[in-house]
Amino acid sequence: MRILYASDYNDLSRKAANIIAAQVILKPDCVLGLATGSSPLGTYKCLIEGYEKGDLDFSRCKAANLDEYRGLPKDNDQSYAYFMYENLFKHINIDMANTNIPDGMNADAEAECKRYDEAVRALGGVDIQLLGIGHNGHIGFNEPADEFPKGTHCVDLTQSTIDANTRFFARKEDVPTQAYTMGIQTIMSAKKILLIASGEGKADIVCRMAAGPVTPNVPASVLQLHNDVTIVADKEALSVLMEKAPEMIEGLPKA
Ligand code: GLP
């Protein structure tokens, strides 16, 4: 696990986008595993700039997103399909037919999870998976549990995740309580993983993910077992790890 220091959110976004850009340049028909949330917004902005400057061509790329709320249609402005379209896809030259995201409106959870696992498999696997991290250590929507869930599954969101999402919805009762998410096995089968974390609120969980025990109670800790993981985190998100294990962080400015 490489942990790269970023001075602030802009620096983090540029560093993360550069890593994804390198992948797109080296393998123009790569499969990008994409994430939602506020953390990747800056990264997506930098990728859009790269496309606008003519440095990046996404025409042969394919994309697979981690998760989607159950019960939200694609045109709901809080659905992850909508988020991806508005914040990345509509600004670059990716072919929408090559983008994949679980269908939140398929009420048959078993069928939808099976379909999505097969769709990701048919892409030949993910070359680089971008991840954010929830305050409780979730990746995608793999919430803390007694075991690591394997394939795509339907989850009951934890109260802390529902509370964190409330800010995006007009009414409390509109906040989805379930989601479809890639499982840990699917995430771990990506060739490369890039996790980004920003802000003091993530400092404790970043430290537990990187330096704590590997446990399904902190789902992101499983990344310690992957052989090509890069974490890019800003100063605030690294503040606890900086105290406990500064030797794990690359690029830390000298005190
Ligand atoms: C949601 C998403 C995750 C994301 C997390 C953190 O739960 N399903 O993929 O990593 O939020 O979001 P943020 O980046 O806004 O802190």
pLDDT per position as a tens digit, 19-32: 999 999 999 999 99
133 touches ligand 1 (CB under 6 Å):
yes
Distance 72 CA to ligand 1 centre (A): 17
More confident residue, 149 or 197: 197
140 touches ligand 1 (CB under 6 Å):
yes
Residue 165 pLDDT > 90 = no
Atom 5 of ligand 1 has which residue's CA nearest to it? 134
Give the three-class secondary structure for 183: coil
Residue 98 is predicted with a pLDDT of 98
205 touches ligand 1 (CB under 6 Å):
no
Across-strand partners of 6?
234
Q: Counting atoms of ligand 1 from 1, which one is nearest the CA of 132? A: 10
| Distances in whole angstroms, Cα of residue 85 to Cα of each of 17, 66, 77, 176, 213 | 18, 15, 10, 20, 37
Residue 254 pLDDT > 90 = no
Across-strand partners of 3?
231, 249
199 touches ligand 1 (CB under 6 Å):
no
141 touches ligand 1 (CB under 6 Å):
yes
Residue 220 is predicted with a pLDDT of 98
d(CA 53, CA 82): 25
Q: Which two tokens stand for residue 201?
A: 């609120």
Distance 14 CA to ligand 1 centre (A): 19
Residue 248 is predicted with a pLDDT of 98
- The dihedrals phi and psi of 195, each to the nearest 5 degrees, come to -110, 135
Going by pLDDT thresholds of 50, 70 and 90, the confidence category of residue 172 is confident
Out of 72, 133, 139, 196, give the residue to mutate to test ligand 1, the one with the largest number of ligand atoms within 8 Å of its CB: 133
d(CA 54, CA 104): 34
Residue 230 pLDDT > 80 = yes
Residue 192 is predicted with a pLDDT of 98
37 touches ligand 1 (CB under 6 Å):
yes
Residue 3 pLDDT > 90 = yes
Atom 9 of ligand 1 has which residue's CA nearest to it? 140
* Active site members: 67, 136, 138, 143
